[in-house]
Structure formats: structure tokens, C-alpha cells
Structure 1
């Protein structure tokens, strides 16, 4: 092929189809019509002298040439974009950004209202949306620029993903106001023996969150405890208020709902903490608009656990 005759805009289409396995989804990510994306693929095939993608039951499957070329092109495009963004300025008051976050349903309840208020005050022309991204896909979604930022109990270990610890959270027990353990409690603390005789309720909207709660129960030797499992946190207050169930929830959630629903918060034995992280892709690390967004999150929710100018590669966090 003659590289000098290749329209470099086509390479973005190549990478998008490689990521998504779909002409339609690639076009949506690039704000192109399906016909324009199909035309770009045809031009790519002509330039490379190769089919590049062939149909399969799971979507478009890359040929060996596409498997070799697309990752290299994607990496170079990310570095080029990052280099071009260095030195630019960002004016939030006049900006018209569309910020795309990845939050669990609990994260949406706890983080989105405060962040939305701040953005409406500082950048009223911008938009904010919470994208449905499975925890296992967060790193890939950041790399593909499907999302700008993710906040939560994340274990991102993908190359090129940076992370910052916002704060350490821990689990507590939430019960009806008049609930008492089978044996008398000392203050507002439940021991393992008391929990072992209680009916537990777990809210776990994501696989990662369920795994974390399950690990807590296993550390307390309660891995096999009978419990009710919910897909969302929204039903927890009404559930425990009307039953004898003991819900295992993050402290932040308990603090937000206990007084409003007349519920009681109990401390749990040690070993129930976890990290709440903010993660982003290194390709946008120097982007002024992205830096500004991260600073708002840090200001609203961070507790100074990691210095603002010291992002860490999440692969090192295990």
C-alpha cells in the first residue's frame, strides 16, 4: 500500500471497528452515519488490500493484518491526542463539554448529585451522564474514550490506566430502629457471633461490589450466612425498616439514609474497609478539561489520601 495516499482520518474508523466489532457502534462512537462508516471501511480495505474484518456470529472479526495493525494505530493515536492537548487552556464557564462517567447505582446516589450541582454552577453549558459500563470493562471503556472517568471500588489493572485514592470507606450494618441482636450489644457495635445469628441483606448491583461484600463476610466467617440479595440500594431502607433483616452497606450510604428513614447504624468488626478510587486513562492525563473535571471530583470527595499531582498506575494497586 502507499501510506502517503492514506487518509489518516480512516485510521480512527479502523480502531473503532476493531474495538466494537460493529460498523454501527463504531459510527456511533465517532459521530458518523452507518453509511459513512461503511464507506470508510471500504476505503480502508482498498488501501490495505485486505478485508480487515469478516463477519462472524459475534460481529466483525479482524483479519490477521487488522489484528497486527489496529492496536499499534490505536496506541499512536492516543499518544498523538495527548501531545496535542498539552498546553491548551480550559474555560469551564463557557465550555460545552459532555462529561461521561462510570458509576454504580450506589455511586450515582452518592456522587452524582453533588457533582451535578458543581457543574451547573461552574460549567452550565456542559452535560453530564452516567454510562452503563460493567466493572470488568471500565479500563477498556476508558481507553476507547467511551467514558472520561470512573469512580468506585475499582481494581483497574489495565496498562495505561491511572488511579487516585479518593478515600477509604468501610461497611456497616443497617437495621430497623427497634432491632436488637440475639445477645445484648455493647454500644452500637455488632460482633461476629451476633451477626451469625442475624438474617443478612446484601445490595450488590455489580459483580465487583458483590465480591467485596462476600469477602467481608468470609473474613467474619459468615460466608455461608443466609441472606436476601438485592440488585439495587434504593430498596434497602424500606426493606430493613419493615423486617428483622440486617443490611451490610457502606458507611456513606448508611449516613445518608439512616435519619431520613429512622434506621439504626451499627459498626462491624475490623477488616471491613475498602478503597474508593477515581480512575482515568493516561492519554487524557494532560488534557486541561479532563484535569479540571478530576479536580472537581477531588475537591468534592477526596480526603487527601493521594497527592493531586501523583496519579498511580492502577496495576500497582493489585
Structure 2
């Protein structure tokens, strides 16, 4: 296999067939006849010494070799197109752009329904794929163009990474509607002693793992109260609605799910808080299509960031030994990261 012998025009055919799963549809996309597209596929198979696509009753499916090559070629072609076209205006109504985002399961529940609906309405021919990338690997995936942007509780500091804070919010607790820490309790704010009496349920998604809940419970010496550690947030409402457990979840998640499940929402003492960021790499900063989709994310999800004093109070940390009386959060307490 000699790369110099490969006609680079064939790579556009490879990407088009991989995208459409059809030789005919790929030909139409590239303004090629069906015989010309079939001939190009035959030449690709000869060069790679692999079938690349297998015919099934449901259309063509890529081989493992094709799955290794086609996405990487597509990324390079997009990068080259952005370089050549410069800052030409992006037309979402007619674009066939393909974007790859990395979001956790919580991110999918929080952002994907709204984002997908907006893309379908404003850029109907584009495609969005959520790629599972561990938080520690997001920066490398952005640099390698394996993903185009990421949304989550992320703050990578590697060179070339650019980020915007979309919003800031604390965690809250959710329980069954008839749950109370003590019969005489009034209101929806828990004290440290009331939280200490609860059986706790927490989630630790590996894709965007955030330590602030665990750290809060350890500082309050309540980690022994954790009864269930879930990998994802999806099952938490069902669990609390059918048990006497208390789950700790982000505010946006609680707000979005409360109408469906009817659980009760509680304010936590010394609630951990976090920034949700949109991040991308500098090598795509001037890509017109990515500029457009990042602007869309901002328009859909960005919220005013609380002033520093209020934000610090929301994220204040508990002392090493929790007193019997609740200590008011101090402005100088650092927000968890």
C-alpha cells in the first residue's frame, strides 16, 4: 500500500458513502454518476485491500478498516475546507455539516433535546453525533479533531483549549414528595443534621466525573450515609420516588425532571456548585460552521453568571466538623472546582 498511488479525490467518495450508506446517494451528493461512484469504490477497495462496505438488507455497513479511516479523513477534509474557504458565510439551511460533540448522559438529558430540535429547525441537513470521551481525554480529542466541541463540567487547561462558561449552579436534593427528615420539619431547606439523617443516593458519571458532591459529603463526614452509588443520573428519580432515599443532583436536571416525576426539591447546606462550559480547540476557532453551532449553543443555554459574592455563598464549603447549628456560608469560602 503506497499512499502516493492513492488518488485523493477518492477519499471524498469514501466519506460520502460512509455518511450516506449508499453508493447512489453518495454520487448525488458529489454530483457523480452511479457508475463513476461505483468505480471509485472499487479503486478504494483495491488500494485498502478491504471491502470497506458490506451490503446488507438495511444498506451498506462499514468494515472495521473503514471505521478507522473514514472519520479521520472526514475530519481532515473539514479542516481543509475551513482553511480554504476562510470566513465565508455559513448557510445552515443548506449545509450538510457533521458535528461531533462530547456530553455525558446528564449532558444528553439536559442539552440534547433542545439542541436537536433547534438544529432540525434551523439546519435541517446537518448531523450531530455525541461521542463518549472521558473528561481527562477531552482536550486531546479536541486537538485531534475527534470531536468538535464539548459541553459539561469541564475545565481543561491544556494549550489551545478555548472555553466559555454557559452557566453556574449548585446541586440540590430530591426526594419522594412525602419525605421529610423529621415530622416537625418546615420549608425546603435542609440543615446539616437533617442531611445526616438521610440515606443518600449519588451518581458519578465517568464521562464528566465531578468530585464536588463526594468532597462535600466527606467534609461533612457523611460519606458513610451513601447507600447507592449510580453510574448515571437517569435512574435517580425512579429510585427516590420508590424509596426513602435522598438523591443529590444538579439544579437544571432537577428542574427539567420534576414535572415528569413529581419529586420534592430541597436546598442543601453548603451546596457544592459548578460551572458548565462550552469548550473547543483553537484549531477550529475560525471554522464558520463551528462558529455557528457554538453561537447556537450560547443562544440556547447561556445564562447570566451570578456576581462573585453570591456565587461564593452558593458554593461555600462545610467545616471539618459540622456544628449542631447551621453555619451561614461565608463569602470568603472558595467555590468547589
TM-score by length of 1: 0.70
Partner of 1:155: 155
The structure-2 alpha-carbon separation of the partners of 1:237 and 1:298, relative to structure 1 and needing over 3 Å to count, comes to same
User: Structure 2 length as normaliser, TM-score?
Assistant: 0.67
Which deviates further from its counterpart, 86-95 or 184-193?
184-193
- Equivalent-residue separation in structure 1 for 2:207 and 2:215 (angstroms): 12
Partner of 2:169: 169
Tell me, in whole angstroms, the C-alpha distance in 2 between the residues paired with 1:88 and 1:95: 13
- TM-aligned CA distance change 1:218 to 1:78, over 3 Å: farther
The residue aligned with 1:100 is 100
Deviation at 1:78, TM superposition (A): 11
**1:4-153 correspondence to structure 2 within 5 Å:** 27-31=69-73, 84=84, 86-153=86-153
In the TM superposition, 1:286-297 aligns within 5 A as 286-297=286-297
Aligned match of 1:233: 233
Counterpart CA distance in 2 for 1:119 and 1:211 is 32
Cα distance change of structure 1 residues 99 and 273 upon mapping to structure 2, 3 Å threshold: same
Secondary structure class of the residue paired with 2:225: coil
Note the residue ranges of structure 1 that are not aligned, 5 or more in a row.
10-21, 33-73, 307-317
Deviation at 1:206, TM superposition (A): 1.8
Q: Relative CO higher for 1 or 2, CA cutoff 8 Å, sep ≥ 6?
A: 1
1:265 aligns with 2:273: no
Work out the CA distance in 2 between the residues paired with 1:120 and 1:208: 26
Preserved contact between residue 78 and residue 283 of structure 1 (Cα < 8 Å): no
Q: Whole-Å Cα distance in 2 between the matches of residues 190 and 108 of structure 1?
A: 29
CA contact (8 A) 2:135 2:209 kept: no
Q: Deviations over 1:95-114 (max 9, x none)?
A: 00111110100100110010
Q: Rg: which structure is higher?
A: 2
- Quickly say closer, same or farther: Cα 1:142–1:85, change in 2 above 3 A: farther
1:98 and 1:115 map into 2 onto residues whose CA distance is: 14
**Matched pairs, number:** 249
CA distance in structure 1 between the aligned counterparts of 2:93 and 2:190, rounded to whole angstroms: 49
* Structure 2 residue aligned with 1:16: none
Q: Choose 266-275 or 284-293, whichever is displaced more.
A: 266-275
Offset from partner CA, 1:281-317 (integer Å, 9 cap, x none): 01111111111000110000001449xxxxxxxxxxx
In the TM superposition, what is the alpha-carbon distance from 1:272 to its structure 2 partner?
A: 1.5
Residue equivalent to 2:204: 204
Contact 2:168-2:276 within 8 A present in 1 as well: yes
SS in 2 for 1:125: coil
Partner Cα separation in structure 1 for residue 119 and residue 80 of structure 2 = 29
CA contact (8 A) 1:85 1:287 kept: no
Equivalent residues of 2:93, 2:123 under 8 A apart: yes
Runs of 5+ unmatched residues, structure 2: 9-63, 307-336
1:186–1:86 Cα change, 3 Å: farther
SS of alignment partner, residue 277 of structure 1: strand
Looking at structure 2, the residues matched to 304 and 93 of structure 1 have their Cα atoms a distance apart, in angstroms, of 29
Aligned residue for 1:96, secondary structure, equals coil
Q: In the alignment, is the contact (CA less than 8 A) between 2:102 and 2:130 conserved in 1?
A: yes
